[in-house]
């Protein structure tokens, strides 16, 4: 499996609008951060091991799913063009904050190219928010103009299978709100969180590559700070950790130089090969 980090910035993006700080004016490309999203390439169908445990429910869209997008962020179109995302076979949503969903309308282009409806997976609250915030997508009746995304919505109730690959939702606390991280094999994506509930730790055992929220050095009410994220790393002990959802307080090179071995700041376009 291959993971591409399409965006590693916080909700404002970096550079932030009308900011004169050093990071927002940096010439290091790794200091330019679009809104958070990743793309999973599950690889060729026949290279995948058999469908996982009996507890894994068969997905209605199991056939020929290879490219799985996590969130449809504000910058989806720019990310798809920058990183040549030519297909999206399924979408996982972490939660319904604007920076994670506002690119949903861009999915029309994949419907058109692939001539197919795209399966979307989210928890009940996020599904409800999507139906309300994008009500025009879910209205029935005649369509005019450029059309609307064609989506099949599935409520996540536990581990499930996409294209024969087991996806494990990981409950996370994002301030007072419970949202979802995701684990696929030895990889986990835990964005937008400031606490990992007790029941989620066993789900993360054996994770070797981790992408984890670390907003900035100062503490925050809904995101891990760098020090808090390092405490998660110390407990989980993955081989490689990449911090994401990064704000303009953290210059890439200087921050990475001070992080322990095996821990780095992610950057847009970073590719992780997961074995």
Residues that bind Zn ion (CB under 5 A): 16, 19, 21, 24, 97, 99, 192, 248
Smallest gap, in angstroms, from Cβ of residue 211 to Zn ion? Answer: 13
Smallest gap, in angstroms, from Cβ of residue 125 to Zn ion? Answer: 12
Cβ-contact 227, 217 below 8 angstroms: yes
The rounded distance, in Å, linking the Cα atoms of 106 and 209 is 29
Smallest gap, in angstroms, from Cβ of residue 102 to Zn ion? Answer: 11
Strand order in the sheet with 209-213: 160-162, 165-174, 177-184, 187-190, 209-213, 240-244, 263-265
The rounded distance, in Å, linking the Cα atoms of 264 and 239 is 11
User: Which residue number, 21 or 63, has a Cβ lying nearer to Zn ion?
Assistant: 21
User: Which residue number, 70 or 263, has a Cβ lying nearer to Zn ion?
Assistant: 70
User: Which residue number, 57 or 254, has a Cβ lying nearer to Zn ion?
Assistant: 254
Smallest gap, in angstroms, from Cβ of residue 213 to Zn ion? Answer: 8
Smallest gap, in angstroms, from Cβ of residue 275 to Zn ion? Answer: 29
The rounded distance, in Å, linking the Cα atoms of 245 and 9 is 4
The rounded distance, in Å, linking the Cα atoms of 167 and 187 is 10
User: Which residue number, 248 or 252, has a Cβ lying nearer to Zn ion?
Assistant: 248
Sign of the CA dihedral with 216 first, then 219, 224, and 225 last = positive
> CA–CA distance from 264 to each of 77, 96, 241, 255, 256 (Å)?
26, 27, 6, 8, 5
User: Which residue number, 192 or 268, has a Cβ lying nearer to Zn ion?
Assistant: 192
């Amino acid at each position: 499996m291959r993971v591409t980090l399409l965006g590693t910035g916080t909700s404002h993006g970096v550079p932030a609008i009308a900011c004169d700080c050093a990071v927002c004016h940096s010439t290091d490309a790794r200091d330019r951060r679009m809104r958070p999203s990743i793309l999973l390439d599950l690889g060729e169908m026949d290279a995948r091991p058999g469908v996982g445990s009996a507890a894994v429910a068969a997905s209605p869209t199991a056939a020929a799913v290879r490219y799985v997008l996590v969130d449809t962020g504000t910058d989806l179109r720019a990310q798809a063009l920058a990183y040549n995302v030519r297909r999206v076979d399924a979408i996982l949503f972490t939660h319904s904050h604007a920076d994670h969903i506002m690119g949903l309308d861009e999915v029309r282009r994949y419907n058109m190219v692939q001539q197919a409806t795209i399966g979307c997976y989210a928890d009940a609250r996020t599904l409800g928010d999507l139906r309300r915030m994008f009500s025009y997508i879910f209205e029935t009746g005649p369509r005019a103009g450029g059309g609307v995304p064609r989506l099949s919505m599935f409520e996540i109730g536990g581990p499930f299978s996409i294209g024969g690959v087991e996806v494990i939702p990981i409950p996370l606390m994002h301030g007072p709100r419970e949202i979802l991280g995701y684990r696929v094999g030895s990889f986990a994506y835990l964005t937008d969180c400031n606490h990992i509930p007790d029941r989620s730790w066993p789900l993360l055992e054996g994770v070797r590559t981790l992408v984890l929220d670390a907003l900035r050095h100062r503490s925050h009410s809904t995101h891990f700070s760098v020090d808090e994220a390092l405490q998660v790393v110390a407990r989980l002990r993955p081989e490689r950790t990449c911090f994401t959802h990064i704000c303009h307080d953290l210059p890439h090179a200087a921050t990475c130089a001070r992080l322990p071995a095996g821990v780095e700041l992610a950057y847009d376009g970073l590719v992780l090969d997961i074995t």
